[in-house]
Amino acid sequence: MGLFTIPILIAAGIARVNWVRLTAVNVAFEIVWTAFLLFAGYRLGEHIAQMERGLQIAALVGGVVFLVVFISIYRRIFRRIAGRCATT
């Protein structure tokens, strides 16, 4: 089974699909899905060394952006809580 297991089972139950037919179709598509993931991983693995520096920079920038957003949200929430406590 795989990524689409739950939606497939729900849709098959609603449509009252025969379990033998469902299993055959599901196995066929899982083979295609797994082959696609293997191929994508193989191709990306060949180029990962070339992309390594760019990925490091992207991870650093993403981490800094996440930290700034987190701190600004935290400060906004803390100000609201402090404002409510001061008025009571």
pLDDT of residue 71: 95
Q: How confident is the model at residue 67 (pLDDT cuts 50, 70, 90)?
A: very high
How far is 8 from 15, CA to CA, in rounded Å?
10
pLDDT in tens, 18-44: 888 888 888 888 899 899 999 998 888
Q: Which domain holds residue 68?
A: 5-87
Number of domains, the chain: 1
> Which residue from 83, 65, 64 is spatially nearest to 75, judged by alpha carbons?
83
Cα(2)–Cα(18) distance, rounded to whole angstroms? 19
